[in-house]
Structure 1
């Protein structure tokens, strides 16, 4: 069963059309830069008129000027799940929004996301849903758990490991509201599967990538992931079915736990560009941002190519003055991307580095070198 009907454009939207971006973060910024390259106009709606996306947009609107925003758009997409859903629906009543607001409603709450996946037969870790953290007391110490708050979860926020009874005691006063407790998965690798789907149901995939997290935040991505053909085929089958079940138009990124037997469990999905797809900006012939633009404008989707191995390293909590830029850029195959954020905070995503190489070993060596430059370790 589809979560939403397909919304049809009568004609493809060609360069010169106006792309509405809901949200003003770095994902919106990178999408807008791709819009500029292809001669699309961009319009942002966000609370921060000086944020990363607003800095490069053609026009910017506050959320209370939603109808002014709508009048400037031919199509809209979102770069952030936690934007006011009522505003997204209001936009959708006047202009096509891809992916649809019904997909966004599923994703913006971890409980609704996991229920949707489970009820539609997708492989997920075992989970339990509770109205508050006290419900976890009965499980604490009997099974290793990852406890997640139902809302506000991104970039490591709202995640708590419980592997012994004392862990529950430490967090019980901190966690508020409904929670989902998942069986902690001891995986072989964490992988990310990225696909695009258009209104006709055509779907294309990027190579499966490996993700490495630190304290719940993506630290780096390596592509290709170096997994078996069987594992890659199975992961893509799951993601293809999810994209079709959602009736999604746009980009879908699914983070998965790859098990030792090559089976995969879905951790979570994002109906938008994703941090784990930033490597596509320099390593692939079509970036994830151009692919999203193609999908929502009803332009041809062609399978992206990755001609060489690549790694993406996140720059977390470091400004440009904190790093030896000269040393970084002296290394061949290194591409620096900064997001225009003025305030440096701990764990804040300030930018990323794409690292291209001739072989997987070459990329791994360069990645270790760049990590030392960024994090002084």
Structure 2
């Protein structure tokens, strides 16, 4: 039996499945604490691979590649959810994977995820499980218009989703239905999108980051504002829901809980991500302990750090179309915390990095950002 309660000490090797930017920032936090990093990723010179000690080049479901990672790692974690369940099950039997397979399996499937949230006593948007186009035609009236059709598996940044505004739009859902089971959700007219990031150890020790307010453009996170511009009552309710979910799911590691806040103060949990999250990047500079360091502490069985907010912050994603302007503006911008992820090709709408501004108030940070030409396109789309 592999012990999941041992303390992993500096000098040990942490294996990371996935070579993207989350793995990169996780690796940088781990290396600052004295760990070595091995990463499994199909593509050479990945963002995480650039800072890792060892790169295992192979498919995520390759038993040969995953075995290599297991042999050289003292503990293993992951930076994204797209891991084959059978491969993860084998890995949990042959290596130290404190997060285990259960939560990942739940969050890979929106149907399982919604049921798990409800079992924790937390409210989600009204929904129906859709098994095909005929099922969609049968159930759409029960959900009402507008509604959102989402594939049960896969999809991110708006991919694998369709908003159905009117009865004549329903047939457009055929393509998604052909991909497999789907979830049909009632459209929630929210006032704000919130997220709470919670980290928990196997012994139940828990730390929660300040509630973040998120603004999306074209289904991609544009800005994260911390502290969220909400009442203390709403913030406390959001934190409580995140903590209850962490306990119910027996979380080990980090969980991002995305929520909708309606005009009447109701909070619906929208999605879960069992890992560090884009909306938690502000914590690198703005909190005493970042979400990445905290995650490493949890999987290595160290005491969790303080999540105290040191200063109000606004984080903005840098997409491919922003980089040229960013390079021109860097010499003129004071106290911009710029993070670039090492991706070779700056594609349109591709997340290439982020910028965090720490100011006396979030209003000061937002005002400064609005003076930058980088954000003009985004501001037009959000009515700025």
TM-score for both structures, normalised by structure 2? 0.91
- The residue aligned with 2:15 is 20
- The residue aligned with 2:34 is 39
Change in Cα spacing, 1:159 to 1:169, as seen in structure 2 (3 Å) is same
Matched, 1:108 2:111: no
How far the C-alpha of 1:215 sits from its partner, in A, is 2.1
- The residue aligned with 2:381 is none
Q: Deviations for 1:257-283, whole angstroms, at most 9, x for unmatched residues? A: 112233311000111000000111121
Cα contact 1:192–1:276 (8 A) shared by 2: yes
- The residue aligned with 1:3 is none
Q: Distance in 2 between matches of 1:152 and 1:31?
A: 23
- The residue aligned with 1:202 is 205
Matched, 1:364 2:359: no
Q: Deviations for 1:109-132, whole angstroms, at most 9, x for unmatched residues? A: 112111222234221010001112
How far the C-alpha of 1:376 sits from its partner, in A, is 5.7
- The residue aligned with 1:301 is 304
- The residue aligned with 1:373 is 374
Change in Cα spacing, 1:98 to 1:316, as seen in structure 2 (3 Å) is farther
Q: Distance in 2 between matches of 1:27 and 1:55?
A: 13
Q: Distance in 1 between matches of 2:322 and 2:307?
A: 32
Unaligned runs of 5+ residues in structure 1 are 1-6
- The residue aligned with 1:287 is 290
Q: Distance in 2 between matches of 1:329 and 1:237?
A: 43
Q: Map of 1:296-335 to 2, 5 A cutoff?
A: 296-318=299-321, 320=323, 322-335=324-337
Could you say what the CA RMSD is over the residues aligned between the two structures, in angstroms?
A: 1.9
Cα contact 1:192–1:255 (8 A) shared by 2: yes
Q: Distance in 2 between matches of 1:234 and 1:15?
A: 37
How far the C-alpha of 1:138 sits from its partner, in A, is 3.8
Matched, 1:239 2:234: no
Cα contact 2:339–2:354 (8 A) shared by 1: yes
Change in Cα spacing, 1:171 to 1:101, as seen in structure 2 (3 Å) is same
Cα contact 1:133–1:179 (8 A) shared by 2: no
Cα contact 2:176–2:182 (8 A) shared by 1: no
Matched, 1:190 2:185: no
Change in Cα spacing, 1:330 to 1:65, as seen in structure 2 (3 Å) is same
Cα contact 1:187–1:257 (8 A) shared by 2: yes
* SS state at 2:260 partner: strand
Q: Distance in 2 between matches of 1:124 and 1:173?
A: 25
Cα contact 1:250–1:272 (8 A) shared by 2: yes
Cα contact 1:140–1:164 (8 A) shared by 2: no
- The residue aligned with 2:257 is 254
Change in Cα spacing, 1:174 to 1:271, as seen in structure 2 (3 Å) is closer
- The residue aligned with 2:349 is 347
How far the C-alpha of 1:345 sits from its partner, in A, is 2.4
Cα contact 2:128–2:139 (8 A) shared by 1: no
Q: Deviations for 1:58-81, whole angstroms, at most 9, x for unmatched residues? A: 111124322221111111111010
Q: Distance in 2 between matches of 1:124 and 1:83?
A: 25
Worse overlay, 255-264 or 31-40: 255-264
Q: Map of 1:64-79 to 2, 5 A cutoff?
A: 64-79=64-79
